[in-house]
Amino acid sequence: MTKVVNTAGKLSPLEFESHLSVSRYGKFVLTEAVRPSFDLKVVPSEGYRHDRYSDENTGASIPVLMISVSAEKIFDVFLDLLQPLGGTVDAVLESSHLRKIPGHKDVRREQIDLPVLTSYLFDYEHLFLADGCVGIAVLNPAIPAEVQWDEHKLITVYADNLKPYEKVLRKYNIPHRQDIRLISEAEHVHITRKEYAGQFNALKTLICAE
């Protein structure tokens, strides 16, 4: 099952399936969850850039890292980026399964031990790598800082002090490329399967009941 977002042009079924089968662009490997559009206005690649998030309600401006990581190491990178958040965190599970309108439903669990959360994520690693309708944000409001791994399988870090997170990226040889374009910034395709919605609900129950 695919969830198509602004796919350019009208493709034949054969062209569409052929495009979805392409998972590697140079050295960069995509997860199973997302594909660029057929016209490849953005060619997926690895790297990160600096940005800022402006809160319209408070007027606050927060430094941001926008990160694209090849599939074979993205799970490890995400887990390592959680370490600067501290031993106890809040987790927000995000799902757009069966949504008829844009956006996703969020389920929040406050004050969970990071090692416990990490163990659950290990159990559901395949879901996060394969499902284009699932994301997660992990945050510590006391710092404040947040690490989000979204439906596009991009990682975003929000924090006043980004140095600990950039240290993790250097560990994995992820280059700083201020001109990098991300797969979410052009037409793209999300991929999911019916069974993933059930797996997400199981994870949601597990984390919220812990």
d(CA 193, CA 198): 10
Q: What is the pLDDT of residue 3?
A: 46
Query: Are 47 and 68 spatial neighbours (Cβ–Cβ below 8 Å)?
Result: yes
**Tens digits of per-residue pLDDT, 40-62?**
899 999 999 999 998 777 777 89
**Which residues partner with 5 through β-bridges?**
188
Instruction: Tell me the whole-structure pTM to 2 decimals.
Output: 0.90
Q: What is the pLDDT of residue 104?
A: 55
Q: Is the pLDDT of residue 164 over 70?
A: yes
Secondary structure (H, E, C), the chain: CEEEECCCCCCCHHHHHHHHCCCEECCEECCCCEEECCCCCCCCCCEEEEEEEECCCCCCEEEEEEEECCHHHHHHHHHHHHHHHCCEEEEEEEECCCCCCCCCEEEEEEEEEHHHHHHHHHHCHHHHHHCCCEEEEEEECCCCEEEEECCCCEEEEEECCCHHHHHHHHHCCCCECCCCCCHHHCCEEEECCHHHHHHHHHHHHHHHHC
**Tens digits of per-residue pLDDT, 166-205?**
999 999 999 999 999 999 999 888 999 889 999 999 999 9
Q: What is the pLDDT of residue 20?
A: 84
Structure-token pair, residue 63: 């430094």
d(CA 102, CA 111): 29
**Which residues partner with 36 through β-bridges?**
188
Q: Is the pLDDT of residue 121 over 90?
A: yes
114 or 18: whose pLDDT is higher?
114
